[in-house]
Chains A and B, each alone.
Chain A
């Protein structure tokens, strides 16, 4: 029997050894390029799936990296200062009435399959986007025409030209007629899985992919140098299971940088690589934010004194820490985060002052009249604040924020409660938010929305856009101030950058004066990258080092 034990043990050890030896020889690699010259290969790690390859789909990392004109040659791009810059449209001009957009495009560009990009492709694109894709940005497009070799004109019935550039810049670009004519009239164009659906006129073409491995490889098309000479010859994108795995891969030199749309590395993880001398954590202000909206159609927060007192009682340092860890910052009273276009940096930062908060409430008549330890309304009726964290995948954080706020409010004698159904059922939550059934709503503005034309102000309007009804709109706000409402809609419909900035500046003033709500903290975004083999990284705030400029600024070290 002893012999049998030995045999079994030996077999087990042998099996383990075989697996271990088979495992020796880990992966790795280097970009290996001449110093100061082109980068032979840029290895990007992501957590987004690498399984959809269609230039008209925003799915997967292929769709997301096309936001920055990678394989899909987008018309324009938005730079780090939120300015619209030429890209496939080599120049553009908007008429004074904002309805006509004249632009030029290159005559030397190539599709990924080697065919030349022609004026007919440009015309076909607008026809396809308008009539098949039913693009939201082209609803008022009336006419599209070539005005010469390499030039064209779009005519809108409304002053939409600027909005088309600003909102459509990331997601639309020229498409090849010789491929997409097959899909004319087919509403399922976005799920077309034909290999040719991945052919675009961006600076790169897809050369191979391994969906099982989550890897796709791209090579430069030197002719499509819309932003300058392309200095990265090859790009490999690999998908990892999660952010921890990406950071491990970055530290092990499996990848050069991280990219994921609107998903920077979490502040709680970034310290994993912060001490590595070969890694820059790619820190910048994040445009997205958590915010509170006061229910101004209900008695408590229709009163400015209550809003003012509540904002003074919050422990702002703790709130900033809850959201951004040691990188979190207390925000200013103008709602926006620093990377937003038109952000004004002169507003005061919030500060906790519970004595002042209590004084305001006492003077306004919110005192404890029945001796239960909590304040009542000035008329003696009970005061019980309904706090509503936004229902979503990330609601744990907002529940924690609610906890901090409720503690702070209790400390100044304000009774609060949460409706358990609202945090357990998205439909109940949403119907209450749409009906304005909340005193303090804790919501979230995504980075994309904050940087777009809607901005966080969109969440505060009560009146619908002129000509539409509240029922068919997506309105969570309760601020009925006519000037605020019209400023928001005018900002969204701006026909130029100057107009947009002027509206957003006025909105910050109104918001800060009336205390309609508040940002709950500025956080940082982290898009880390390696600095040992590649130089020339340009970290766009809230976006990261993989942006429209990446393909022309990177150089080998």
Chain B
């Protein structure tokens, strides 16, 4: 008897229609909470930029030029200040900020004078190119290896994989990143040193070149994701394996494979799916360290450069995207769990 499909606590099934309404209400409540959270994040991001140390106008045009204009051409300085709305009262700036978010007009980057949204979308593309395969490959490898180790805790496979996994979860990604860069790119010259492509290529050449460039950062990120997911899945499987219904299934004489796939995995997947949903929140944030080491022009590197160069509009949008993604991922995880976990269903409908 599969653990999920039946009602494990013996509570009589509720009226289906009523149950659906209750679940929908639960989801709606989560959606509203998420919207409120996003609004609070937007407000915090506005206040954060306006109260952080430093004079925005001096960062915009440079301190030397600021004083030069102040001394020689104050009209021009005033024009720049007006252009960026820095003279407006705080509440007007806040309303303008909300409007800019609604219209997706995030202004111009201080770094390269390009629209912020253009820079961010471009970087999103490169981040997704790495983060989606990382999520999928890391998720699959981590799950498979975790199930194997968790099914036979203390076995040979577990004894080898668990220390490796603990090591990989402890070592910072920049150490492994630099080590692999030095070995495979600098010494062995197998992979390119930096960047997303060599440039000026098209068709199959471009794809091959792109794969070469993404190989090292992708391998590192998949490795870290795999070992992190491995620990989650292993602990989940070994826990479910000790449950009464698993023992009962085995005692009934069901073959190992059936017990594993029909009883253990279906229950062990619940925390894993939650974890995977939460990981989706980081899809657009990128990995700042890995991207910076390999010159991968993703969101992590953009955020890093925006902060170091005090490019406030870009930093603000990067922060917003990261925060909104985390909120949405949490919401997704809540919804998925509400739909698939009978225990949550029970709680909602009770």
Measured CB to CB, the residues of A under 8 A from B are 1, 4-5, 8, 12, 19-20, 22-28, 49, 51-52, 54, 57, 59-60, 134, 136, 139, 187, 190-191, 193, 208, 210-215, 217, 238-242, 245, 248-249, 251-252, 254, 393, 424-428, 449, 465, 468, 472-474
Asked whether B246 is an interface residue with its Cβ less than 8 Å from the other chain, the reply is no
Interchain CA distance A22-B54 in the complex, whole Å: 48
Q: Does A51 contact B112, Cβ atoms closer than 8 Å?
A: yes
Of listed A217, A239, A251, residue having the most chain B CB within 10 A: A239
Least CB distance, B113 to chain A, in whole angstroms: 3
Q: Does A245 contact B295, Cβ atoms closer than 8 Å?
A: yes
Asked whether B167 is an interface residue with its Cβ less than 8 Å from the other chain, the reply is no
> How many chain B residues have a CB neighbour from A under 8 Å?
60
Query: Scoring B residues 97 to 119 as 1 if CB is less than 8 Å from chain A, else 0, what string do you get?
Result: 00000000000100111100000
Asked whether B243 is an interface residue with its Cβ less than 8 Å from the other chain, the reply is no
Contacts A27-B192, A249-B193, A465-B71; A49 near B111 (Cβ below 8 A): yes
Interchain CA distance A77-B260 in the complex, whole Å: 76
Residues of A within 8 A of B65 (CB): 136
Query: Scoring B residues 66 to 84 as 1 if CB is less than 8 Å from chain A, else 0, what string do you get?
Result: 1111111110100100010
Contacts A12-B141, A22-B212, A465-B71; A213 near B64 (Cβ below 8 A): no
Contacts A22-B211, A215-B198; A49 near B53 (Cβ below 8 A): no
Interchain CA distance A212-B298 in the complex, whole Å: 10
Residues of A within 8 A of B144 (CB): 8
Contacts A5-B157, A393-B308; A240 near B194 (Cβ below 8 A): yes
B191: contacting residue among A26, A51, A54, A465, CB under 8 A: A26
Least CB distance, B22 to chain A, in whole angstroms: 41
Least CB distance, B310 to chain A, in whole angstroms: 9
Can you list 14 contacts pairing A with B, beta carbon distance less than 8 Å? Answer: A8-B144, A12-B141, A22-B208, A25-B212, A52-B114, A212-B122, A212-B126, A214-B199, A240-B195, A241-B301, A249-B194, A252-B186, A252-B193, A427-B55
Q: Does B68 contact A427, Cβ atoms closer than 8 Å?
A: no
Contacts A19-B215, A187-B79; A136 near B72 (Cβ below 8 A): yes
Interchain CA distance A283-B116 in the complex, whole Å: 39
Least CB distance, A367 to chain B, in whole angstroms: 40
Q: Does B185 contact A248, Cβ atoms closer than 8 Å?
A: yes
Interchain CA distance A52-B118 in the complex, whole Å: 13
Q: Does A213 contact B197, Cβ atoms closer than 8 Å?
A: yes
Interchain CA distance A110-B75 in the complex, whole Å: 36
Q: Does B112 contact A59, Cβ atoms closer than 8 Å?
A: yes
Asked whether B306 is an interface residue with its Cβ less than 8 Å from the other chain, the reply is no
Asked whether B321 is an interface residue with its Cβ less than 8 Å from the other chain, the reply is no
Q: Does A472 contact B70, Cβ atoms closer than 8 Å?
A: yes
Shortest Cβ distance from B123 into A: residue: A212
Q: Does A210 contact B200, Cβ atoms closer than 8 Å?
A: yes
Q: Does A241 contact B292, Cβ atoms closer than 8 Å?
A: yes
B53: contacting residue among A22, A28, A190, A425, CB under 8 A: A425
B199: contacting residue among A60, A134, A210, CB under 8 A: A210
Q: Does B64 contact A474, Cβ atoms closer than 8 Å?
A: yes
> Which 6 pairs show the lowest CB-CB distances between chains A and B?
A241-B295, A213-B199, A474-B67, A215-B199, A191-B113, A210-B199
Query: Scoring B residues 285 to 318 as 1 if CB is less than 8 Å from chain A, else 0, what string do you get?
Result: 0000000111101000100000010000000000
Residues of B within 8 A of A59 (CB): 111-113
Interchain CA distance A210-B189 in the complex, whole Å: 23
CB contact list, B269-293 vs A, under 8 A: 292-293
